[in-house]
Amino acid sequence: MSEKGIIRKCKAVDCDITTINKGVQDDLFLSCISYEPRSVGVLEKLNKEYRATTGLFVINKKFQNFSKVQENKMNVNNALEKFLFFKNTDYILTSIDNPIKIIIEIDKILKRDFQNKKSSGITITLDITAFPRCELLPLIYYLRHLSYVNSIRILYACPEGYGNWLSKGYKYSTIPPFFEGPPTFEKKTGLLLLTGFEYDRAIALIDDLEPSTVIIGRPIPGTSSNFVNKSDKIIDKLKQTRKVKSQIYDIPADNPFLCKKLIEEIIEQQSKNFDFYVSTMGTKLEVLGTYLAYEAGMKNPKFRVIYPIPLAYNVGDYSYGIEAFYQFSL
Partner 1 sequence: MPIENPFTVYSPEQLTPKAFREIFVKEHTWINALETPKDFFVEGSRGSGKSMLLNYLEFSHQLCYFMNNLDSFFEQKDRKYFGIMVHVTQEELNTSTYELLIRNNLAKRNFIESVCMHDLTMAILYRLLKTFTDDKIMRGYINNLDKTKTVAFCDQQLKSLDKRRKHSFDFSKKCTNSNLLTKLAEIFLKERKSIKYYAYDTFQVREAIYDGNYSNFTFMNSFINNFKILIGREDFSFYILMDNGDDAKITMQKCINKYISQRKHDNYCIKIAIKKGTIWNKDKIQWLHDYSRIDIDEMYSAARDVYNKRIKQIANIRLKIVDITADIEDFLIESPTERELFEKIKSELTERYEKEYYSKYNKKLDDEEQISKSDYVNNRVNKYTQAELFRRLKKTPKSYAGFQNIVHLSSGIIRQFLDICSNMFTVEEMKQKKNEIVKIGLKTQNDVIKKYADDFMDELEEKYKSLEKQEFTHEEAKRYKDLYVLIESLGCYYKELLMDKTLKEPRVFTFTLRDPGTNPHVDQIVELGVNENYFQFYWYSSKSGVGKYRGYAFNRRLCPRYGIDHTSFRGRRELTTADLVATIKTGKIPKSRGYKITLDKFVGE
Binding residues for partner 1, rule: CB under 8 A, are 62-63, 66, 98-101, 103-104, 107, 138, 142, 145-146, 168-169, 174-175, 177-178, 180, 183-186, 188-189, 200, 209-210, 212, 243, 275, 311-316
Give 20 or 102: the residue with its C-beta nearer to partner 1.
Answer: 102
Q: What's the closest the beta carbon of residue 110 comes to partner 1, in angstroms?
A: 9
* Pair 134, 312: CB distance under 8 Å: no
* Pair 139, 287: CB distance under 8 Å: no
Sign of CA dihedral 173, 179, 180, 182: negative
Alpha-carbon distances, residue 118 vs 88, 115, 121, 125, 149 (angstroms): 19, 6, 5, 17, 8
Q: What's the closest the beta carbon of residue 10 comes to partner 1, in angstroms?
A: 33
Give 165 or 249: the residue with its C-beta nearer to partner 1.
Answer: 165
Q: What is the C-alpha separation between 276 and 305, in angstroms, rounded?
A: 9
* Pair 38, 71: CB distance under 8 Å: no
Give 114 or 313: the residue with its C-beta nearer to partner 1.
Answer: 313
Q: What's the closest the beta carbon of residue 109 comes to partner 1, in angstroms?
A: 11
Q: What's the closest the beta carbon of residue 107 comes to partner 1, in angstroms?
A: 4
Give 21 or 273: the residue with its C-beta nearer to partner 1.
Answer: 273
Q: What's the closest the beta carbon of residue 120 comes to partner 1, in angstroms?
A: 20
Beta strands 122-127 and 26-33 are: parallel
Q: What's the closest the beta carbon of residue 157 comes to partner 1, in angstroms?
A: 23
Sign of CA dihedral 168, 171, 175, 177: negative
Give 121 or 177: the residue with its C-beta nearer to partner 1.
Answer: 177
Alpha-carbon distances, residue 180 vs 55, 109, 133, 301 (angstroms): 31, 27, 15, 8
Q: What is the C-alpha separation between 180 and 168, in angstroms, rounded?
A: 26
Give 74 or 104: the residue with its C-beta nearer to partner 1.
Answer: 104
